[in-house]
Structure 1
Amino acid sequence: MKSNYSFLVKLLMVQCLAISSASQGYDFFYFVQQWPGSYCDTTQGCCYPTTGKPATDFGIHGLWPNYDDGSYPSNCDPNNPFDLSLISDLTSQLQVSWPSLSCPSSDDTSFWTHEWDTHGTCSESVLDEHAYFQAALNLKSQASTLQFLESAGIQPDGGFYNLTSIQNAIQGGIGYEPYIECNTDASGNSQLYQVYLCVDYNGSSFIDCPVFPTGGSCPSSIEFPTF
């Protein structure tokens, strides 16, 4: 009887640990914004969404749950697929702040579907679908990346700028060090492509990055293309 009781206690402990681990799911978020001029200025090119050319501003790429060791979860809940009706009140804002530039042209919903299904479902214990997209919009309103850069004299004019100056301008504006990702234009020039900022577990506040991404590193001088 005693051994059975001991076994049940251990089983409950294991189950509690499993539930606790599952509820954690991730440690922090990367909030990623992309410069549309750099997305389009590649050999692959781009297509504007069916709503027309996006604003000349950094657009949201995603809000991505990550672990402190640099790894990340993905596609966490296939039983909770993207449902456009749940964010109908956010659609007009998302079309401005989270546009798709992939080809062929779309109404952006395929982009949002991919981001929710791949990344958002991994944070659903904290942020349901509506809260997830609302959190990204809230973060975008705080991280006025283009404004930070232009205030430092860094313009999307096709010129080349010092990478450290770009990092310092964004850090001065938001208060936290960003990670800058570059891609390459059709002429082989490295250009400012994406800006990563780290966000707390609740998706509400920027934090110091526990770890920076790998890949997409930039040289000391990079192009800031027009759009």
Structure 2
Amino acid sequence: MVKWSISILLIMLLNLAVTSLGNVPNFDYHAFYFIHQWLPSYCNQKGTKCCYPPTGRPAADFTIYGLWPYNDGGNSLQNCPGSSYDVAPLKAIQNMLQKDWPSLTCPQIGRKFWLHEWNKHGTCSKSVLDELAYFHAASNMKNKLNIFEALSKARIIPNNQFYQVENIKAAITQATGYRPFIFCNHDAEGNSQIWQVIFCVDKSGTKLVNCSGSPQGQCAYSTVKFPSY
């Protein structure tokens, strides 16, 4: 009777262990969503307060918002276990990040924004990219794409005018060879405006790829404002 009880207990513990392993999140990522943002569209929202960093006002350009690993289903991965943000490796590229990956959110300027992005998203890519490689990859990709120049060549400029979303996509596609996703938000007056431009990047963070899924929240408007800087 005791032997049977022990056997039953062992079976129950084994089943519990297998079930627990099945519930462990799979942090293996398929590729990245590489997200640019137009900072004026962030700062002119109702109730949003922006501050310039100590280095001054950034140049007029689309800047990095995030490099987010996503899985085979197209869902971005977040808050993976492991190494947290370490400022030391980034000191050598701080000037580059201040230019390419600034934040104007008060008081989350500079390092606080990078800390947030690494701890929430970057840690999910650490099987391939360590912290320094992760930030390098994002900066290199941003300068490779040059969205602002692509739009300027198509005479789409930040002048508070409205442009067809399809024309924005076409101009960027022609320049990069890949069709982007466009996200929009609203200014304080309720006007729809271009905010984010999103591409998919391979697992190494070095090459554009066709997206296997679609990020949630794409712009539903046919025209958007391109706010001045």
Q: Is the 8 A contact 1:87 1:130 kept in 2?
A: yes
Q: Is the 8 A contact 1:47 1:105 kept in 2?
A: no
Inter-partner Cα distance in structure 2 for 1:177 and 1:187: 30
Deviations 1:4-56 (Å, cap 9, x if unpaired)?
xxxxxxxxxxxxxx9xx999711010000000110111112322222211111
Normalising by structure 2, report the TM-score: 0.86
Residues 1:100 and 2:75 are matched in the alignment:
no
CA displacement at 1:102 relative to structure 2: 0.8
Deviations 1:65-94 (Å, cap 9, x if unpaired)?
0013122221112x4111111111110000
Structure 2 match to 1:50? 54
Inter-partner Cα distance in structure 2 for 1:226 and 1:91: 27
Q: Is the 8 A contact 2:36 2:66 kept in 1?
A: yes
Judged with a 3 Å threshold, the aligned counterparts in structure 2 of structure 1 residues 190 and 28 are, in CA distance, closer, same or farther, namely same
Structure 1 match to 2:191? 189
Residues 1:221 and 2:202 are matched in the alignment:
no
Structure 2 match to 1:34? 37
Q: Is the 8 A contact 1:38 1:185 kept in 2?
A: yes
Structure 1 match to 2:202? 200
Aligned-pair identity in percent equals 45
Q: Is the 8 A contact 1:183 1:216 kept in 2?
A: no
Structure 1 unaligned regions, length at least 5? 1-17
CA displacement at 1:202 relative to structure 2: 1.1
Q: Is the 8 A contact 2:181 2:218 kept in 1?
A: no
The structure with the larger Rg is: 2
Inter-partner Cα distance in structure 2 for 1:51 and 1:212: 36
The letter for the 1-side match of 2:98 is: Q
Structure 2 unaligned regions, length at least 5? 1-20
Inter-partner Cα distance in structure 2 for 1:138 and 1:189: 32
Inter-partner Cα distance in structure 2 for 1:181 and 1:135: 22
Inter-partner Cα distance in structure 2 for 1:210 and 1:192: 23
Deviations 1:99-124 (Å, cap 9, x if unpaired)?
01111263x00000000001100000
Structure 1 match to 2:4? none
Inter-partner Cα distance in structure 2 for 1:163 and 1:80: 40
Matches within 5 A, 1:1-227: 25-43=28-46, 44-77=48-81, 79-104=82-107, 106=109, 108-227=110-229
Judged with a 3 Å threshold, the aligned counterparts in structure 2 of structure 1 residues 172 and 109 are, in CA distance, closer, same or farther, namely same
Deviations 1:116-143 (Å, cap 9, x if unpaired)?
0011000001000010000001101111
Normalising by structure 1, report the TM-score: 0.87
Inter-partner Cα distance in structure 1 for 2:72 and 2:41: 29
Inter-partner Cα distance in structure 2 for 1:198 and 1:120: 15
Inter-partner Cα distance in structure 1 for 2:220 and 2:114: 28
Judge which range, 62-71 or 151-160, deviates more. 62-71
Q: Is the 8 A contact 2:34 2:67 kept in 1?
A: yes
| Count of residues in correspondence between the two structures | 208
The letter for the 2-side match of 1:31 is: F
The letter for the 1-side match of 2:61 is: D
Judge which range, 144-153 or 46-55, deviates more. 46-55
Q: Is the 8 A contact 1:170 1:177 kept in 2?
A: yes
